[in-house]
Structure 1
């Protein structure tokens, strides 16, 4: 059994600013590696942030946000993701990062898993929620599960953890470490969505127990200041209220392995995993299957492109 240190990011994204977001991401990669982590996991669509304006679909200027969001989305083979992969290789750390992927005129909710050689594997979320589909496209799906030097790692984003069929397919892959990437939460006034943070915790715990796997659950910080929107009819009334969530790390039995950071606090949550317990619990050796599409191997150092 090997002991592995992992880190879950709990931070506010650099909203709609891709170059600043990549710089922030690389900073957390370097910090996690310097503190001994072999794996660091970021929230869903951390780059360039989850599009919370979706809650405001009646507001006239939603189209402006969408244009800016597209301009600050990543391409799977672009210089921004290559720069992140270069940082992973240079620091000798595995990285899981959620990002908005631009492919032609389409945008997908994507996850990338990068190993210490800088190899990038990407998968797109097959079925975004109804609200998410106002921004993101559906895809053919696929699983992101890889054999790595740390063990067998799998990744899912957000509400995919509520799909019983997808959970079952992932459990069949015999993960040792699962990354449950959540976007954080904010609330539109008048909507009863206060269960958001509790939902991601419950889903992460259930996943750990059902899959007999460690679960790293990074969550974004979402202060109102990040998406402060004022009702044009009532300028003193905000349309969004604060949210966020708390990053956590769970063992195969569903118990927390580290005391979480305070809600709203930015930083890294570290935990030490005893990898090997999951496979012994299952009682058989995992098949060596790599899912997802490999988009690049052995990346070169790349500069960051200025984004709108």
Structure 2
């Protein structure tokens, strides 16, 4: 469990849509603000750099292809200059950063989360295991090697994206690693409002809340917003404006026994939520129901977790050629 109280921060903001450099600058600014306010960890929404591709929910695949070149070009690589800027900001603020981003790797993009420690080192880079529904028309998948936590001096930190919080086995795998602070990255909750309850704030904030209670961990749940710039980019008709409403920001921070630890912002307001994570709350929660300890029944149900990286090409060394051994000792030469 946490060794001490930790102040955490959840971002609620709009990215600079499909502009990775400008959005990176916004990330750096928010990191600096959180550090000045005493936060030791800050978490960003899903694919915050360069923004979530909302067009995939609003139009045909053919129409969406118009955004592909821009989105690919503005998805940062793990070793690119944008990540270096975030690392510098983490080091300057002496703060842990959990960044949601679209990761470009060759000709593919993945829904990534990168963790930077207070020294500025990137200590974790993961990919969403299964992009949801139409997200699979844009993003590739991660694998079991991504499902992990990182050790900080105050405890263990983990992260998942969006509807990974609706995958019971993935969640249980994370609980089993002794997660203390979980970063739940969300894109925004203004899509199909009134028509698709499962995409709204009630269901998805409940998923974050349940994660906290099930895993007896603190959940930092950043959430992006769609403001005027987002509607201008994605909504060229009134119908699309109705499908992707303005706002959708529902950032939250939950305690391990279900307490909402930070006062929410208005859904169309940008800002940062802050809360103290007190280990006493975690101890109380785990004493009641620890799903990987005293409240488990491994004789009835167990989880199989494959941690091996899944690679499209596995290079094997060629088999050794048959070799005839020749005796070239002095005795053999004389013979």
Answer whether TM exceeds 0.5 for this pair: yes
User: Do 1:7 and 1:268's aligned partners in 2 also have CA atoms closer than 8 Å?
Assistant: yes
Structure showing greater radius of gyration is 2
Equivalent residue, structure 2, for 1:306: none
Number of aligned residue pairs = 285
Residue in structure 2 matched with residue 296 of structure 1 by the alignment: none
* Contact 2:185-2:222 within 8 A present in 1 as well: yes
Q: Give me the whole-angstrom Cα distance separating, in 1, the residues matched to 2:22 and 2:49.
A: 10
Do 2:162 and 2:186's aligned partners in 1 also have CA atoms closer than 8 Å? yes
CA distance in 2, matches of 1:136, 1:59: 14
Correspondence 1:278 to 2:285: no
3-state SS in 1 of match to 2:48:
coil
* 1:78-157 equivalent positions in 2, closer than 5 A: 78-120=80-122, 121-141=124-144, 142-157=146-161
2:276, 2:23 → 1: CA distance?
27
Partner Cα distance (2:8, 2:238) in 1: 43
Structure 1: where are the runs of 5+ without partners?
294-308
- TM-score for the superposition, normalised by structure 1: 0.85
Partner of 2:225: 221
Structure 1's consecutive aligned runs of 4 or more residues displaced over 6 angstroms after TM superposition are none
Q: Distance in 1 between matches of 2:114 and 2:235?
A: 34
**Cα distance change of structure 1 residues 255 and 62 upon mapping to structure 2, 3 Å threshold:** same
The partner residue of 1:22 within 9, 21, 24 is 24
Q: TM-score, structure 2 length as denominator?
A: 0.79
* Cα pair distance change 1:281/1:55, threshold 3 Å: closer
Residue 265 in structure 1 maps to residue 269 in structure 2: yes
Q: CA deviation at 1:236?
A: 5.4
Q: Whole-Å Cα distance in 2 between the matches of residues 251 and 133 of structure 1?
A: 32
Aligned to 1:68: 70
Deviation string, structure 1 residues 60-98 (Cα, Å, up to 9, x no partner): 531121111101001011111011011101110000011
| Root-mean-square deviation (Å) | 2.4
Which whole-Å CA distance do the structure 2 matches of 1:189 and 1:279 have between them? 38
Equivalences for 1:127-276 in 2 at 5 Å? 127-141=130-144, 142-188=146-192, 191-193=195-197, 195-223=199-227, 225-228=229-232, 229-230=234-235, 237-239=239-241, 240-242=243-245, 243-275=247-279
Instruction: Please give the secondary structure, in 1, of the residue aligned with 2:45.
Output: coil
Q: CA deviation at 1:195?
A: 4.7
Q: What is the CA distance between 1:113 and its match in structure 2?
A: 0.8
Aligned-residue offset at 1:230: 4.8
